[in-house]
Amino acid sequence: MSEQQPTRVALVTGASRGIGRGIALALAADGCDLMLTGRDTAALEAVAAKVRALGRKAALHAADLTKDGAVAGLVGALREAFGRLDILINNAGAARRKAFLELTDADWRQGFDLKLFAHVRLCQATWPLLTASRGSVVFIAGIGPRSAVADYMVGASVVAAELVFMKALADLGKREGVQVNAVNPGSVDTDRFRLRLAAIMRKTGLDEAAAIEHHRQERDVTRFGTPEDIGALVRFMVSPQARWLQATAIDMDGGQLDPLRMSRYD
């Protein structure tokens, strides 16, 4: 009789809404218990309730991962709640959009602090747990570096650095039994997307449906993505069937060609 495998535990950053929420619920549906983190406690509680409704355990730890001691506090809460980690989803972080000459040192620091440095620290802090479980790491990066433009200078730079770090970490993972990959989402229907859509509606006078179609044609995509799309891909990437996947960044963008040039509406 085969020994029963322990329930996998996943830690998702930026789990309170959008892509992070979609990934957390997809992993819960796949039988994972969840450690949820983000800055909004109430929103995290709402996601945790949905995870529990799927029959899985959920713990949450609200934190700003750019602050001193935040990563240590999060990993301590993870160890206390579950004592193990099988899946790390580095999702948190978004860069500010400004004209080049308006960008400050603080804007650059903000972009790198959360989207890169916090994730580096989190990988370091959880690596012993991940090697023990022969776990998986997935970075939710982005398509910005594919064709960098002035409208998204900080974001593209941060994501480019994140993808290089992913490749280097994956090289270590080959030797130490940890799977490391990334997803590059295109335009996904999240709160940020809705803010952009509202700006298009103000500028063009179009209603919501017409504005979505107008924007879809600009992006030249089959449709806009959903958090559930990204969640389904991540669910596969950390499954046993995808274990051979290593050091890979998968674009999931509906064939998007426009390189995130959005200043006409922002």
Answer yes or no: are the C-beta atoms of 35 and 15 closer than 8 Å.
Answer: no
Three-class DSSP category at 112: helix
CATH topology assigned to domain 9-188+227-252: Rossmann fold (3.40.50)
Residue ranges of the chain with pLDDT lower than 70?
A: 1-3, 258-266
**Gyration radius (Cα) of the chain, Å:** 18
- Per-residue pLDDT at 3: 65
How much is the pLDDT for 34?
Answer: 98
pLDDT digits (tens, 9 = 90+) for 64-86: 999 999 999 999 999 999 999 99
pTM (2 decimals)? 0.93
